[in-house]
Structure 1
Amino acid sequence: MKSNFLYIFLLLFAAPLLAQTSDTLVVKRDEKIIVVKDSIIQKEEYNPLAPAKAAFYSAVIPGLGQVYNKKYWKIPIIYAGMAAGIYFYKQQDDEYDRFRNAYKRRLAGYTDDEFYGNGTEPLISNDRLINAQKSAQTNKDISLIVTIAFYLLNVVDANVDAHLRQYEVSDDLSLQPNFNVNPINAQTQYGMSLTYRFK
């Protein structure tokens, strides 16, 4: 009985162990790695000298600070404003010289200037020539101020744009509208919420 029990025990427990050693299963494992480009924009390092550098470039050559800031569309505006100021300055300077030369010739006793007319009676009086000179001088001054203003605006714009280029706008600081329903009278309450997260 003991030997039968021993055979049954070996048949039930030992036979499956011997059967598994001769039949093995090999599993080949393939791993594929997918690399996805990170959609988060890399944060530029803060450069405290960037605004000063952009302003210096614009002071040396107008528009160069805008090139440094990669705001190319502003360059034609700067040059158009400065060119308009210089053009009108030159035009008013020529007008001033015309009126001034005619007035000087009249003071010298000549009656052959372009504003005198047929030679008997002047078309434009001496007082009008003086007023025209003053008006042309005022226009020259305004044109010069406009030219200088565009030049200074170019320098200031490059400086401010370089500051703002490094300004961080993230979800850590947000201003959003807030709508709540009042549970007592069931009316909507409106407001603004300012969120700031400390890291």
Structure 2
Amino acid sequence: MTSRFRTLALAAAALLLPLLASEAHAQTSGTDVAPTAVTAGPDSAQVSTIVVPDSVRRTARLFGLKMTKPTKAGLLSALLPGAGQLYNGRWWKVPLAVGAVGGTVYGEIFYQQRYTEFADGFNARTDGDPNTVDNGPRSSLLRSSDEVKRSLNFYRRQRDSFLAYIALAHAVQILDAVVDAHLRDFDISDDLSLQWEPSVLRMPTLAAAPGVSLTLTFK
């Protein structure tokens, strides 16, 4: 039993190593590599691959430049939130992308206005000039300069936080458009079939051993 498991492990390694090597080559070279033949045994053949140049996948155009669809979707979303989702045909995502970026921008404007009001009110109270009066609709309601300063610091922190929220919301909707464009051409249907049958594993340095062959078919 132990030798059989060892034989199965060696067979799996012999099949996986060429695939991993071709995948690593694809990631480093910037091209798509698809293995077409992998065999193991006395009659083992060399792995053959099909290399797809990056230029072949540049089927989209933006401002006269040829680029891939994910690149175009990402650039559109970077220029205008929701444009990449619109390009991908995901209409229902457009309000989400616009709302996320627009909501954080609104929050930034809101806290900036409050910060400006309390900053002017604090300066009017502490500049030593009796002619300057705090006329802010909210800051003037506070009695002491310390209360105005605490509110000023609060609105400053909120304003700075919403700058980060804007960047995060913008980055997320760009990433969503790029990933969605990558997945547009993928078959994600549930029509899968799995077949198994007895098989014989043949290794160059070991005797033939019984095993099981599994075939997963995507339709």
- Alignment TM-score, normalising by the size of structure 1: 0.56
Is residue 2:181 matched to residue 1:197? Answer: no
Specify which of 88, 96, 110 is matched with residue 77 of structure 1.
96
Instruction: Report the AA paired with residue 178 of structure 2.
Output: N
Is residue 2:142 matched to residue 1:113? Answer: no
Name the CA distance, whole Å, in 2 between partners of 1:130 and 1:84. 27
Name the CA distance, whole Å, in 1 between partners of 2:190 and 2:92. 29
1:116–1:171: structure 2 CA closer, same or farther, 3 Å change rule? closer
Secondary structure at 2:158's aligned position in 1? helix
Name the CA distance, whole Å, in 2 between partners of 1:53 and 1:112. 54
Specify which of 153, 160, 172 is matched with residue 141 of structure 1.
160
| Aligned equivalent of 2:170 | 151
| RMSD, aligned CA | 2.9
Secondary structure at 1:113's aligned position in 2? coil
Instruction: Report the AA paired with residue 53 of structure 1.
Output: K
**Correspondence list, 1:90-109, <5 A:** 90-109=109-128
| Aligned equivalent of 2:149 | 130
Runs of 5+ consecutive residues of structure 1 not aligned to the other structure: 1-45, 118-122, 176-193
Name the CA distance, whole Å, in 2 between partners of 1:97 and 1:58. 31
Name the CA distance, whole Å, in 1 between partners of 2:188 and 2:151. 55
C-alpha displacement at 1:67, in angstroms?
1.4
Of all paired residues, the percent bearing the same amino acid is: 33
Name the CA distance, whole Å, in 2 between partners of 1:80 and 1:172. 36
| Aligned equivalent of 1:57 | 76
1:172–1:72: structure 2 CA closer, same or farther, 3 Å change rule? closer
1:116–1:151: structure 2 CA closer, same or farther, 3 Å change rule? closer
1:166–1:47: structure 2 CA closer, same or farther, 3 Å change rule? farther
Is this contact kept in 2: 1:92–1:139, CA < 8 A? yes
Runs of 5+ consecutive residues of structure 2 not aligned to the other structure: 1-55, 59-67, 195-213
Residues 154-188 of structure 1: CA deviation (Å, up to 9, x unaligned): 1100011011111123678558xxxxxxxxxxxxx
C-alpha displacement at 1:60, in angstroms?
1.9
C-alpha displacement at 1:52, in angstroms?
1.6
Residues 49-99 of structure 1: CA deviation (Å, up to 9, x unaligned): 221221122112221211111001111111122222122211111111111
Is this contact kept in 2: 1:172–1:195, CA < 8 A? no
Residues 130-150 of structure 1: CA deviation (Å, up to 9, x unaligned): 221111011112222222222
Name the CA distance, whole Å, in 2 between partners of 1:92 and 1:84. 12
Structure with a larger share of its residues in strand: 2
Instruction: Report the AA paired with residue 83 of structure 2.
Output: L
Higher RCO (CA-CA < 8 Å; seq separation 6+): 1
| Aligned equivalent of 1:15 | none
Is this contact kept in 2: 1:173–1:195, CA < 8 A? no
1:174–1:152: structure 2 CA closer, same or farther, 3 Å change rule? farther
Name the CA distance, whole Å, in 2 between partners of 1:92 and 1:133. 10
More displaced, 48-57 or 129-138? 48-57
Name the CA distance, whole Å, in 2 between partners of 1:174 and 1:138. 56
